[in-house]
Amino acid sequence: MHIRNSLQLGKAIKIIYPGELYVSNEDEIIGTLLGSCVSVCLIDCERGIAGMNHFMLPGKISRHDIFKDRMARYGITAIYNLMKEMEMMGSRRRSWQAKLFGGGRILNSNIDRNTIPDDNIRVARVLLEMEDIPIVKSDVGGEYTRKLLLEVKTGKVFLKKTVRDDAYNEVAAREDQYHARCFVDS
């Protein structure tokens, strides 16, 4: 996770990468860049607490996936770890709202992975519904990469979608490499 300063917004930015999550009660911004990955943002506006995860694979409900994954690589683990971190920061579930982003179809290789974006979106929606957490904003699917910034204290999200360009191609290449490593590790 990197920390950057945003001159335009006048706040520190915590950048998260695939397999990471971050929760804060500070006046700062959490950012990430998404391709086929999905980010769930949980917001507690009553207490000024918010968090974001970034996961690449939906995961399976199996002992191997759930208990082996200590990071937020799988959606199932990423969402439950985000919830746990929110609670540890003093947030209460009844005041949570969710915002859901990503799941773009940008992977270039291996045709049998073409369902990953849809599976990522589906697992996020199902788990949030099971936990009775309302999704108040969603921007998913399509053939976009997304730059995402979450303002912790307000819960506002700044989103920029990108279609095929150099940044898009860079994200696609990084995701292809990461997916290759993940499938070897599985």
Residue with the bigger pLDDT between 3 and 51: it is 51
61, 145, 82, 112 alpha-carbon torsion, rounded to 10°? 10
The contacts of residue 142 (CB under 8 Å, 6+ apart) are 104, 105, 161
Q: Which residue has the tokens 């947030």?
A: 91
All domains in the chain, ordered by first residue:
2-185 (3.30.1330.200)
pLDDT in tens, 105-121: 876 555 445 688 899 99
pLDDT in tens, 52-110: 999 987 765 555 555 555 555 678 889 999 999 999 999 999 999 999 999 998 765 55
